[in-house]
Amino acid sequence: MKPIAIFRFSPTEGAGHFATFLDSVGIPWQLVALDKRESVPLDLSPWSGFGFMGGPMSANDELPWTQPVLTLIREAVRANQPCIGHCLGGQLMARALGGAVTVNPVKEIGWHRVEVEQNPIATEWLGAVRGFHAFQWHGDTFSTLPPGATRILSGPHCANQAYVLGPHLGMQCHVEMTEAMIDNWCEDGAVEIETALGEGQIATVMTPANIRNEVERALPGLRSMAERLYRRWITGLIA
């Protein structure tokens, strides 16, 4: 099988458990480190699919890679080559495909429950699961879905948590987390958390200590849900 191109936008927001899963099922992948100024590939033919990870920037920022990435997403969707987006990646997919990315009413940071929508596509991707605790770290969100997309996950503080459009999956929540990533983010984002808590966002923003305290309980369940989603997503890959 051709490799999956995985796009990294920030040094600490890499492929995480997505790469671990791909390795476990024998699917090759190659990192495209946009944070190191690597180029967005122009040719789709060497790749079986495309993965887009998270990042601290907005999907509406016009950075050197923004328009090439948006173009790549549109071309991949036209070619029916599966795309998967995590947080910023899901927002970029939404923007590329006609959805709107805006500031969410509140920040979500830490462990928050998401609910599985009651529709046939959500059932196809997640089976009988009704909800789970996902990891969140975002201020923006895709406030509208791309035309033709179906929401499969929702949340009380941010309605659109994941959508499916054919073989493509865009997520607001982070299912790719590892314990090391969580530690790094808690350290790097301590000021952001302190500021948000100081603004009164105590219902949606957890302290670093509380985030870490939940890892042992919540991470295995998150990993299980990630693998369920990833396993469904790879069925659409182009050999």
pLDDT confidence of residue 239: 75
Phi, psi of 190, rounded to the nearest 5 degrees: -60, -40
DSSP secondary structure, 57-80, as one string: S-TTS--TTHHHHHHHHHHHHHTT
Please give the CATH number for the structural domain made up of 4-236.
3.40.50.880
Closest CA to 142 of 125, 155, 161: 161
- Sorted by where each begins, the domain ranges of the chain are 4-236
* 239 residues of the chain, pLDDT tens digit each: 999 999 999 999 999 999 999 999 999 999 999 999 999 999 999 999 999 999 999 999 999 999 999 999 999 999 999 999 999 999 999 999 999 999 999 999 999 999 999 999 999 999 999 999 999 999 999 999 999 999 999 999 999 999 999 999 999 999 999 999 999 999 999 999 999 999 999 999 999 999 999 999 999 999 999 999 999 999 999 87
Tokens encoding 93? 């997919």
Please give the torsion angle defined by the CA atoms of residues 147, 156, 66 and 44, in that order, rounded to the nearest 10 degrees: -60
Return the biggest CA–CA distance within the chain.
Answer: 50
Whole-angstrom CA distances from 232 to 30, 49, 125 are 20, 13, 6
Q: What is the pTM (predicted TM-score) of this model?
A: 0.98
Pick left, alpha or beta for residue 102 (phi over 0 → left; psi -120 to 50 → alpha; otherwise beta).
beta
Residue with tokens 């301590």: 190
